[in-house]
Amino acid sequence: MMHRKVLSPILTVAIAFLLSAVILGITSRQPRETLRWFFLGPFSNFYFFGNMLAASIPLMFTGLAACLAFSAGMFNLGLEGQHYFGAIIGTIVALSVPTSSVSSMFLALAVSFLVGALLALVPMLLRLTLGFSELISSFMIGQVFIYVGDFLLNGLFRDPEAALAATRHLDETVVLAKILPPSNLHAGYVVAIALCLMFTVVRKWFVMGYEFKMVRENPRFAKIHGMDVERIWLLAMILSGGVAALGGMVEVLGVYGRAVKGFSHGNGFNGIAVSLLVRNNPALIFLSALFFAYLESGAEIASLMVQTPAEIVRLVQGIVFCLVTAEFLFSRGERDADSVT
Amino acid sequence: MLTQLLRSSISSTLPIVVAALGASFTQRVGKLNIAIEGTMLVSCFVSVYVAAGSNSWLLGVTAAMTSSCLLSLFVWLIHRYLGANIFVTGLGVNLVASGLVVFLSSTLLGSKGTIFFEEMPSIPVLRLEVLEHSEPLRTLLFDYNVLELIAMLVVFVSWLITKTPLGLRMKAIGKNETVARQLGLNVDWTRIWSFIFCGLFCGLAGSMLSLPLGLFVAGMTNNRGWLALVAAVLGGDNPLGVLGVSMVLGFSVALSNRLQLFTTLPAEIVLSIPLILTLGVVLIYSILKTGERGRSP
C-alpha cells in the first residue's frame, strides 16, 4: 500500500519530464542545448537556483490553500483570482495608508487575507444556501475578479510613469528581506514553510484537523454525529482563500515591490496540482512546489538562452495535472474513482 | 439596433448551446467533463489551420471534431482506467490546451498573437431573397452560415438522442450506476458514447468561433466553455432547458460585444460582463428552484 502511494507521484513526475524532453527535443533546432538548459539551467549558478526557490514560494501558498479546501472535501477553483486580486487590494491599501513600514506591511497582509477569504466565501455560501456547485462558481467569481484587478491596475491605480500596467512602488522599507541576493529569494520562503508545518500539526493533532477529516470523508456521518458541517466548510474555504491571497501579497512584497498586471501567471491554478501531487499532505507541499518551480524556471532559462517558446511549461504542467490524481499500479478494484484525497 | 442585438445573440448562443449540450451528455451519465473550454480552444485552432491548409471548411470542421473527440476520450480514459479525478484531469486538459495552441501557433505559424489566415475557404451562407420589404425580419431570419445551420440541427438531434434507448440508458446510469449495471446495461460503452458526443459537439462549437472569422487568437474562447458548463449544469437533463439557459448567456455575450463596440467602457469590464450576468442567472435560477422544492442539500 505504502510503496504505491510513493511510486505514483514519482511516476507522474517521470512521465511529465519524459514528455517535456520529447516535445523540446522534437521542436527545438538545437535539442541538446535546449534540454541542457531546461534540466540543468536552474542549478547552473546561485542566481538561477535562488530564483527557482523564490518561484516556489507563491506555489507553496497556493498549494497550501488548495490543500486546505481539499482537506474539508471542497474544491476551490478560484485560487487564481483570490491570489491575484487579494494582493492587488493589499498593495493599494498599503500604498494609500501613511503608516510606518512594519505596520503597513502587516496591514497589507491582513487586507489581502480578508479579500481572498471573502472571494472564497461567496461560492461556498452559494453552495450552502442554493446548492450550486462551488466548483464552477468559485472559478467564475475568481475569473471576474482577475478582470477587475486588471482594470484597477490599468486605470485608477496605475503608476503614470510605469511602462507597464502596475501600481506605484511600495516603500523600500516595506518589502520583505532578500535571502540570497542578487536572486529573488526572500523571507517569504520561511513563512510559507512555517504555515505548511503549522497546518500539518493542526491536521494531525488538533480537533479542527479531525473535524476536517470527518467532514471530508463523510459529511452525512459527521452531521449525524452533531458536527456543524456548514461551519467547517465555510472555515476551510475562508482559510483557503485567505492563504491564497496571502501568497500573492508575499509575492508582491518579496519579488516585485508593487502589483504588476498578470504577476500571478497561473500560480493559483498550479496550487491545485501542487497539493494533489503530494496527496494533500501539507508537510510535503514544499517539495511539489519546488518541482513546479523547477519546471517553470527551466523553461524560462531555456527560452532565454535558446529561444524555445516558454509556453512549453504550461503544456508540461497540464500533463502533470492530468496524471496527478491517476493511480498507476493500482489493481482496478481498489480505488474510488472520485476521491481526491 | 434591437434586431441586430437579437441576431447577434442568436449567433453567440449557438456555439454555447452546442458545447453545453455536449457537456450535458457527460453530466447525464454522472461524469461532468469540465475540459470543454480547452477542447473548444484546440478545435478553434485545428479548424482554421486545417481549413486554410486544405482549402476546405468541411475538412477543417471534421479535423476539429476529431481532435476534440480525442481530447474528450482522453479525459475519460485517464479517469476510467487510471482512476484520476475527472475534475482535476479536466483542469489539466484546459491547461494543456492553452499551452498547446500557443506552442503550435508559434512553431507552425511563427506567431503567438492574433493570426489572420489569408486564404480561407469561404463558408456557405444561406441567403434567401424573400421578405424583402421587412428589413428586421430579414436580419433575424436569414444569412446564417452553414455551421450555424448545422448547430441548429444539432440542438434538435440532441433532443432526439435523449428519446432514444441510448439517451435513456445514459440517464439511467447517471441516476443510479449500480442498478443500471445490475440490469445489464453496458455502463462503460454508454459513457464512452456520451464522451464521444461531447467531443463532437465541442469540436463544432470551437470551429464556429474561429472559422467564420478566419483568424485565431489564444484567448479566443474567452470563458465560453465555462458559460456552457453553467448552462449544462442548470439545464440539467433537459436539452430544452440547456437551450434556454444558453440563450440567456448568449444574449449576455452579444451584449458585451456590443458594449465593446459602441461604448468606451474598459475592455476588462466588458470581458467580465458575461461572467457576471451568468452568475446572476445562476443566482436567480437557484433561488427559483429552491423556492419550488425547499432546500436542496
Average pLDDT over residues A65-79: 89
- pLDDT tens track for B164-173: 988 888 888 8
B103 inside 8 A of chain A by CB: yes
Does residue A19 belong to any structural domain of this protein?
A: no
Chain A residues closer than 8 Å to B283 by CB: 126, 130
Q: What is the DSSP letter of A332?
A: T
Query: Looking at CA atoms only, how far is residue B142 from chain A in angstroms?
Result: 34
Q: Which residue of A has its CA nearest to B268?
A: A147
Return the H-helix or E-strand segment holding A341. Answer: none
Range scoring the smallest mean pLDDT among A131-135, B64-68, B133-137 = B133-137
Nearest to B103 among A136, A315, A337 (CB): A315
Average pLDDT over residues A249-264: 85
Strands B215-216 and B115-116: antiparallel
Decide if A140 and B278 are in contact by the 8 Å CB cutoff: yes
Residue A260, all three cell numbers: 504588476
Interface of B with A in 54-73 (CB under 8 A): none
- Region of A339 please: left (phi>0), alpha (psi -120 to 50) or beta: beta
pLDDT of residue B181: 87
Mean pLDDT score across all residues of chain A:
83
B272 inside 8 A of chain A by CB: yes
- pLDDT tens track for A200-232: 898 888 888 888 888 888 888 888 888 888 898
Chain A residues closer than 8 Å to B297 by CB: 131
Which of the given ranges, A206-215, A321-330, B50-59, B192-201, has the highest pLDDT on average?
B192-201
Range scoring the smallest mean pLDDT among A67-71, A113-117, A157-161, B134-138 = B134-138
Residue A339 has pLDDT above 60, yes or no: no
Tally the domains of chain A: 1
Q: What's the pLDDT band for A83 if we cut at 50, 70, 90?
A: very high
How many residue pairs bridge chain A and chain B with CB atoms within 8 Å of each other? 156
Q: Percent of chain A, pLDDT > 70?
A: 94
- pLDDT tens track for B60-102: 899 999 999 999 999 998 888 887 888 888 888 988 898 888 8
Chain A residues closer than 8 Å to B100 by CB: 315, 318
Chain A residues closer than 8 Å to B269 by CB: 147-148, 151
Average pLDDT over residues A14-25: 80
Decide if A323 and B84 are in contact by the 8 Å CB cutoff: yes
Does residue A3 belong to any structural domain of this protein?
A: no
Average pLDDT over residues B17-33: 90
Which residues, including other chains, have CB under 8 Å from residue B178's CB and lie 6 or more apart?
none
Decide if A327 and B84 are in contact by the 8 Å CB cutoff: yes
pLDDT of residue B115: 78
User: B178-215 b/e with 16+ CB inside 10 Å = b?
Assistant: eebeeeebebeebbbbbbbbbbbbbbbbbbbbbbbebe
Residue B78, all three cell numbers: 485517464
Which residues, including other chains, have CB under 8 Å from residue A329's CB and lie 6 or more apart?
A4, A7, A8, A11
- For residue A62, the enclosing domain spans 46-306
Decide if A140 and B275 are in contact by the 8 Å CB cutoff: yes
Query: Would you list the domain boundaries of chain B?
Result: 2-112+142-293
B150 inside 8 A of chain A by CB: no
Average pLDDT over residues B135-149: 74
Decide if A337 and B85 are in contact by the 8 Å CB cutoff: yes
What CATH code is carried by the domain that includes residue A234? 1.10.3470
Residue A338 has pLDDT above 60, yes or no: no
Cβ(B208)–Cβ(B148) below 8 Å? yes
Q: What's the pLDDT band for A75 if we cut at 50, 70, 90?
A: confident
Chain B residues closer than 8 Å to A272 by CB: 88, 91
A33 inside 8 A of chain B by CB: no
Q: Which residue of A has its CA nearest to B232?
A: A136
A144 inside 8 A of chain B by CB: yes
pLDDT of residue B196: 93
Which residues, including other chains, have CB under 8 Å from residue B51's CB and lie 6 or more apart?
B57, B59, B60, B61, B117, B120, B121, B211
Does residue A253 belong to any structural domain of this protein?
A: yes
B261 inside 8 A of chain A by CB: no
Interface of A with B in 73-132 (CB under 8 A): 75, 77, 126, 129-132
Decide if A314 and B95 are in contact by the 8 Å CB cutoff: yes
Chain A residues closer than 8 Å to B87 by CB: 75, 135
Q: Which CATH class is domain B2-112+142-293?
A: mainly alpha
Does residue A321 belong to any structural domain of this protein?
A: no
- pLDDT tens track for A38-49: 888 888 888 888
B271 inside 8 A of chain A by CB: yes
What are residue B116's DSSP bridge partners? B215
> Quick check: helix, strand or coil at residue A283?
helix
pLDDT of residue B270: 80
Which residues, including other chains, have CB under 8 Å from residue A119's CB and lie 6 or more apart?
A78, A81, A82, A85, A86, A141, A142, A145, A241, A245
Decide if A143 and B223 are in contact by the 8 Å CB cutoff: yes
Decide if B88 and A150 are in contact by the 8 Å CB cutoff: no
Decide if A309 and B107 are in contact by the 8 Å CB cutoff: yes
Does residue A13 belong to any structural domain of this protein?
A: no
